[in-house]
Amino acid sequence: MMKDTENTSPALTVISGGKDKGSKRTGKAATPTGLTEKQERFAQGLASGLTNAESYRQSYDCSNMQANTIHTESSKLAASPKIDARLKELLADKSRQNSMSVLKQSERVWRGVWRLCENVEGNVPPAVQQSALALAAKMAGMLTDKVEIENKHADSGTIERELLERLQRLSKAG
C-alpha cells in the first residue's frame, strides 16, 4: 500500500495511511526524527526555553490533568532518550546559528571600522580616522591594555618611616 505524505514544514513530515513504522504506536504520525508530532513539539518547546511542564502543556491535551500529573509526565518525557537526543540536536543547531550571527555582526563592525580608517571618500575627520585605526588595531589583537602592578613587601617600620617622610614633605610644602 502506498503512503501519502504531506509536508507541513521543512522539518516536519506527516505520514498518513497505513501503519506508522517510525513509532511504536500505530496511527501516530512520525516526524523524520522518529518522534511523534507531539514529541517533536515538546522537544522544540524545550529547545526554545520552556520548562518541561510548559512544553508538555503546549504539546499535549492537558485539560483533564492535574498539575502534579503534568509535571510527572513531562519529566518522564524529557528523560526519554529520543527526546534527549532530539533536544541536543536542536540546541546544537541553535548554537551554530548564534555563532554565525555573531560572526556576521563582527564582520560588519570590522568593515565599518576599516572604512573609517581608509577614508576613501575623504570626508572622515582625522581624529575619527585615528580613533578608528586604534580600534582596528585592538580588534586585530595588535594592541592590548597592559596594567603593571608594583607589589612591595615592607615591614611596619619601613611603612611608618615612609609615611613620616611624606608628612614632613607635605608640611614643608604647605
Q: What is the pLDDT of residues 101-126, one digit of tens each?
A: 777 888 888 888 888 888 878 888 98
Sign of CA dihedral 72, 73, 74, 77: positive
Nine-digit cell at 136?
Answer: 582596528
* DSSP H/E element including 37: helix 37-47
Question: What pLDDT sits at residue 151?
Answer: 72
CA 22, 3, 5, 50: dihedral to nearest 10 degrees?
A: -20
User: Who's near 39: CB < 8 A, 6+ residues apart?
Assistant: 31, 59, 77, 80, 82, 83, 86
Residue numbers of the chain with a pLDDT score lower than 70? 1-29, 174
For residue 166, how far is the Cα from the chain centroid? 54
- Tell me if residue 168 falls in helix, strand or coil: helix
Which residues 6+ apart lie within 8 Å of 135 measured at CB? 113
Q: How far apart are CA 87 and CA 78, in angstroms?
A: 9
Distance, CA of 29 to CA of 12 (rounded, Å):
10
